[in-house]
A and B are shown apart, each in its own frame.
Chain A
Amino acid sequence: MLSEHSVDHVLLERGEVANSWRCERWDSLCLLTPNWQSRLPGYPYQGADPGGYMTAHELATHISGFAAASQAPVRTHTTVTALRRMEGGYHVLTDRGELRCRSVVLASGAANLPRVPPLRSAVPPEIDCVTPHEYGNPHRLPPGGVLVVGASATGVQLAREIHQSGRPVTLSVGEHVRLPRTYRGRDVLWWMEASGVWNQKYTEIAELERARRLPSPQLVGTPERATLDLNTLRVAGIELVGRLSLIRDGRALFSGGLANQLALADLKMNRLLDTFDAWHRSSSPDLQCGPVERFEPTRPPASQRLTIDLRSGEIRSIVWATGFRPDYRWLEIPVLDNHGELRHDGGAVLGAPGLYAVGLPVLRRRKSTFILGAEDDARDIVAHLVQFLAGAAPLAPTGIIE
C-alpha cells in the first residue's frame, strides 16, 4: 500500500519473514480462523481446504508467499535495537546499521512476551514453570500433574493436549470468552465477519479498554471443527478450579467465584448469538443456514477445590496461559502508559507524530489482530501516514543498512 502511494519504505524483520510463526508457537498450534479468512491484501487463500485451519508453519509459508508476491522490501535478519526521536523524524538502530526515516510503523505484534502474574515467584522451586513460548508439546513437561493457569484459546488447547498425553490436568479459570466452533452450520468466525461485529470501529465501542483486554476466545482449529468449551474439558476429566488468586506457604488458593465466571461467559456468548440471529433476520433472511441453536450452559464442577498444596507432589508443572504482551524494550520514546501499553488513537501513537502501530487488539476495529483485519487497518494507517508525510519537512538523506 505504501508503494501505491510511492512512499519509499523498508520492512525490518529480525529473522525470516513471519518469524514469530516459525519460532514462537507450540508444535500443534493451528489458526483459530478458517483458511478462507487468512486473506491478505490482493492475496487470498487459494489452497484446497478453505474451511480448514492452517498450522503455524503453513501460515508462515502463506505470509512469505504474500511478501514475495507483493515484492515487499523486507530486510531479514535485521534486529531493531533502538528507536529514537530525532530532528524531523526517527532514528532506527539495528544490529546491521542505522536508518533515519520520517515515519515508523510498529508491526511487531501484541504477543511478543508471555504475561506471567507476579505470584509466579511464590511457586515452590521443585515445580517447573512453563510459558506457551517454552512449551512446545506435552512430552517436554515432567510426568505427573499439570496446573494450567488461564482458559483462553491457549489455555483450553494446551489443557486438552496435556490431558491427552496422560497427565492429570487442573485448569484454573478466570474471565474467559466462550464461543462454539460452528453456529447454525457455519464457522462462528464467518458470523463475526458477515454480521459486521468484527468491523465495528474502535470509536464505536463503549468500553474500549475492556474490549482491548479481552482474552482470546475458547476456540481450536481442528479438521472435525469441534467445539472446545469447558463442558468438553470437564467431561474429558480435566478438573476446573477458579481463578488463581494467591500462592501462600506453598498452597495455591483459587477463587470461589468460578460459577459466576461461567455464567458471565455463557450470557455473553448468548448475547452474541442473539446479535447474529437478529442480523440474519433483518439483513440476510434468504441466506442458507441451519436453525437457531442455543448451547448447554457451562456446568460448574460438582465439588470445587479452593486450595491445592503445591508441595504434595500432585502438581509437577505449571503452564502459564495468562496472556501475552508486546515487547517495547527497544522503544526509546516516552509513548507508553504506566501499564507499559502504547498510548495511541486508532494506531496513531500519541505524542509522536509519524509513529504508528498495527496489529494490536481492537486497534481500529474488532478484527485488528486477525489476519483478515490487517487490510482495512493498514489502508487507514497508510492514508494517515501519507497525509503526515505531505505536511512534514523533508529529511536529510536516509542512513544505510549494510
Chain B
Amino acid sequence: MEQLNRVNNGVNVQALLDAREALRQAPEAAEFTWRASCKWKNGTFAQSTVRGFRGLGQEQSHKSEFSFETDHPEVFASEDRGATPVELVLVGLASCLTAGVAAVAQNRGIQLRSVEAKLEGKMNIYGILGVDSNVRNGFDDISVTFHIDADASRQEIEALVAQSQKRSAVYDIVTNPTSVTVEVA
C-alpha cells in the first residue's frame, strides 16, 4: 500500500478494487448496457452522440452529452468533415489500452511520466468496394506501438502493456467475434 500511495497516475485503483469485491456479491449490478445514437447529416457525414447507459442496476448518465462527427476523406470523394468510422475504432482501441496501462501501473505501484500509443490498421479496400469477394471489409491487421516513460524496467513495462490487453474491452471486441443484430424499427 505504501507503494500505491507514493505513485499517482490519477487512477483511483482502490475504488476499482472495492467495486470488484462489491460486484462479486451482486452479479446483476455488473450487467451494463452501453448506448450510442447516430444521425445522418448529408453524404457520408453523420453525427453520433453518447449520453445515457445502464449499470449498477439502474439508468446512468454521463455528466454531459458527447458528440462525434464522422465522414470520409476527399480521396473517397467526400467532404472530410470528421474522422472515418474505422479511425474511431482505432481511437477506441488506443484509448482503452492506454487507460488500462495507467490503471495497471497504479495497481502495481509504477509511476508513469508519459504514455503514447501509435496505431496502424491495414485494410485492402477491394473488400468495401466489392472488387474481390475474398478480401474482407475490415482490418487485416492492427498494430499498436507504445512509447512509455515510467519508473520501471523494460520487462515491467512490457508486463503492463500485456496486462492492459488482457483486461481491455475494446481489445476483446476487435480480436473476438461478437454477435450483432441490425433491425429496422
Residues of A within 8 A of B (CB): 242-243, 245-246, 248, 253, 255-257, 260, 263-264, 267, 270-271
A270 to B156, CA, bound (A): 11
A256 to B136, CA, bound (A): 15
Partner of A270 from the list B155, B171, B175 (CB cut-off 8 Å) is B155
Q: Give the segment of B4-12, B35-43, B113-121, B158-166 that binds chain A.
A: B158-166
- Chain B residues with Cβ under 8 A from A267's Cβ? 155, 158-159, 162
A-B contacts, 12 listed (Cβ < 8 Å): A245-B176, A253-B176, A255-B176, A256-B174, A256-B176, A257-B172, A260-B171, A263-B158, A264-B162, A264-B163, A264-B166, A271-B159
Interface of A is mostly: mixed
- Are the CB atoms of B177 and A245 closer together than 8 Å? yes
- Chain B residues with Cβ under 8 A from A245's Cβ? 176-177
A242 to B176, CA, bound (A): 10
- Chain B residues with Cβ under 8 A from A256's Cβ? 174-176
- Chain A residues with Cβ under 8 A from B171's Cβ? 257, 260
- Chain B residues with Cβ under 8 A from A260's Cβ? 162, 165-166, 171
Residues of B within 8 A of A (CB): 155, 158-159, 162-163, 165-166, 171-172, 174-177
A246 to B162, CA, bound (A): 23
Whole-angstrom distance from the CB of B53 to the nearest CB of chain A? 25
- Chain A residues with Cβ under 8 A from B155's Cβ? 267, 270
- Are the CB atoms of A246 and B177 closer together than 8 Å? yes
- Are the CB atoms of A242 and B175 closer together than 8 Å? yes
- Chain B residues with Cβ under 8 A from A242's Cβ? 175
**Which residue from chain B places its CB closest to the CB of A251 in the assembled complex?**
B177
- Chain A residues with Cβ under 8 A from B162's Cβ? 260, 263-264, 267
Whole-angstrom distance from the CB of A214 to the nearest CB of chain B? 14
- Chain B residues with Cβ under 8 A from A270's Cβ? 155
Task: Check A248/B175 contact, CB under 8 A, given A260-B165, A260-B166, A264-B166.
Answer: no
**Which residue from chain A places its CB closest to the CB of B176 in the assembled complex?**
A245
Whole-angstrom distance from the CB of B30 to the nearest CB of chain A? 14
- Are the CB atoms of B175 and A255 closer together than 8 Å? yes
**Which residue from chain A places its CB closest to the CB of B139 in the assembled complex?**
A256
Whole-angstrom distance from the CB of A356 to the nearest CB of chain B? 25
- Are the CB atoms of B159 and A257 closer together than 8 Å? no
- Most chain B CB inside 10 Å of its own CB: which residue of A242, A260, A263: A260
**Which residue from chain B places its CB closest to the CB of A253 in the assembled complex?**
B177
**Which residue from chain B places its CB closest to the CB of A267 in the assembled complex?**
B159
- Further 18 A-B residue pairs, CB within 8 A, beyond A243-B176, A255-B176, A267-B155: A242-B175, A245-B176, A246-B177, A248-B177, A253-B176, A256-B174, A256-B175, A257-B175, A260-B162, A260-B165, A260-B171, A263-B162, A264-B162, A264-B163, A267-B158, A267-B159, A270-B155, A271-B159
Whole-angstrom distance from the CB of B181 to the nearest CB of chain A? 14
A267 to B155, CA, bound (A): 8
Closest 9 CB pairs of A and B: A256-B175, A257-B175, A260-B165, A245-B176, A253-B177, A246-B177, A264-B162, A263-B162, A267-B159
